[in-house]
Amino acid sequence: MNNNHQFFSSQLLSWNRDSNQRTMPWKGEKDPYKIWLSEIMLQQTRVEQGRAYYEAFTSKYPTVFDLAAAPDEEVFRLWQGLGYYARCKNMLAAARSIVHDYNGIFPNDYHTITTLKGIGSYTAAAIASFAFNLPYAVLDGNVYRVLARFFGIDTPIDTTEGKKIFSETAQNLLPVNKPAVYNQAIMDFGAVVCKPQQPNCLECPLATKCIAFLTNQVNKLPLKSKKLTVKNRYFFYIVAIYNQQVLIQKRPGKDIWQNLHEFIPVESPEILPAQTILEQSREIVGTVVNGSFTLSPLFKQKLTHQTIHAQFIRLALKSRIQAPQGFQWVPLNSLDNYAFPKIILDYLQNNQLQLL
DNA sequence: AACTCGGGGGA
DNA sequence: TCCCCAGAGTT
């Protein structure tokens, strides 16, 4: 086994030195603040999707002081569309903690790094190794896949046992004298060669000792124990408009899209007529709303665990009503200042509310 | 230990 | 359609 470990690490580093063409804006970055930003943004997010956001954030907030001082709403607006919005909230909390608790200096030991909001074992290892060259092996989707295939590990990666096995294996493989280069190399290798689908096994420098390749299991590994269930949800949004203003709220509760804005929501287990939705909305609005309405087409947004169907009922009020608890009247031409979920952005793009 | 959190891209 | 992506926090 030790021979295989030695083979794995040395072949990987050789591949990285001779054949790794992958470039990214944050690669080789030594500023822990910028490394941290990139790692938060890339959690469960493809590099290509996060790239533009990284540029926007480092441009607008060059230092942790700039980010910590920024208004919440401005930051959420900049994060709009990237998803997993708790990351944004935690990122702000961490930035403010770094400024207030650590004098703006990023903590340089693994344990302290993990105490920051939104930083788990992966992100802490990434920051510790890339910024401070500390010997902590990263364990992300790439690493799970590469290790599962090369060592033929069929323990599901989404179990406690699996996490323990892969974590220990990853740490054992890490050359303690070059953690930064090695961590970057194994993730690049997983993204470029040992890809989820159609990996380049014929050009792979590890193939001669890769258990999955030798036993024809490449497309089976890594294993997961859980199967995904997706449920349908139907959101009806009352877009209540009066005098070029519209009612919105910051989405409350523990559901999806925390901290993003929305119109008056009426959720239903099935599609209902607009008239029925308007009647139900009176409980939320607290009064009988009057006016003519226009029904939008049905919009659809696929999330990991649910498919959202949304229909918008644009309601031209005859008189101004008091904003319900939690809601506010905002000018239609100021909606750009607020962060909205993708499905509402789709509606806004198609409906030109400002022309009303 | 199981759930939940977005949105996009590739086959 | 289904799976996966530089995971983390909550229940």
CA of A226 to C1' of B2 (A): 10
Write down the pLDDT at residue A288.
60
* Same domain for A22 and A163: yes
Q: What is the pLDDT of residues A272-298, one digit of tens each?
A: 888 888 888 777 776 666 678 899 999
For A262, list phi and psi in degrees, rounded to 5: -160, 170
Q: Can you read off the two tokens belonging to residue A354?
A: 């400002």
* Same domain for A120 and A11: yes
* Same domain for A349 and A204: no
The overall average pLDDT reported for chain A is 94
Domain that holds residue A343: 231-355
Write down the pLDDT at residue A287.
63
CA of A336 to C1' of B8 (A): 22
CA of A184 to C1' of B9 (A): 23
Could you tell me if residue A73 is left (phi over 0), alpha (psi between -120 and 50 degrees) or otherwise beta?
alpha
Write down the pLDDT at residue A236.
96
Q: What is the pLDDT of residues A162-200, one digit of tens each?
A: 999 999 999 999 999 999 999 999 999 999 999 999 999
- Identify nearest nucleotide to residue A304 by CA to C1′ distance: B6
- The pLDDT of residue A271 is above 70: yes
**DSSP letter (8 states) at residue A60:** H
Reply yes or no on whether A39 is catalytic.
yes
Report which of A172, A204, A194 is spatially closest to residue A14, judged by C-alpha positions: A204
* Same domain for A91 and A38: yes
Write down the pLDDT at residue A224.
96
* Residue A157's CATH number: 1.10.340.30
* Same domain for A257 and A199: no
* Same domain for A248 and A343: yes
* Same domain for A173 and A68: yes
In this structure, is residue A55 part of a structural domain? yes
List the nucleotides on chain C closer than 7 A to a protein CB.
Answer: 2-11
In this structure, is residue A226 part of a structural domain? no
In this structure, is residue A28 part of a structural domain? yes
How many CB atoms neighbour CB A7 within 10 A?
Answer: 15
Is the minimum distance from the CB of A85 to strand B below 7 Å?
yes
Write down the pLDDT at residue A278.
84
Beta bridge partner(s), residue A328:
A248
* Same domain for A248 and A178: no
Q: How many domains does chain A have?
A: 2
List the nucleotides on chain B closer than 7 A to a protein CB.
Answer: 1-11
* Same domain for A201 and A65: yes
* Residue A297's CATH number: 3.90.79.10
* Same domain for A250 and A285: yes
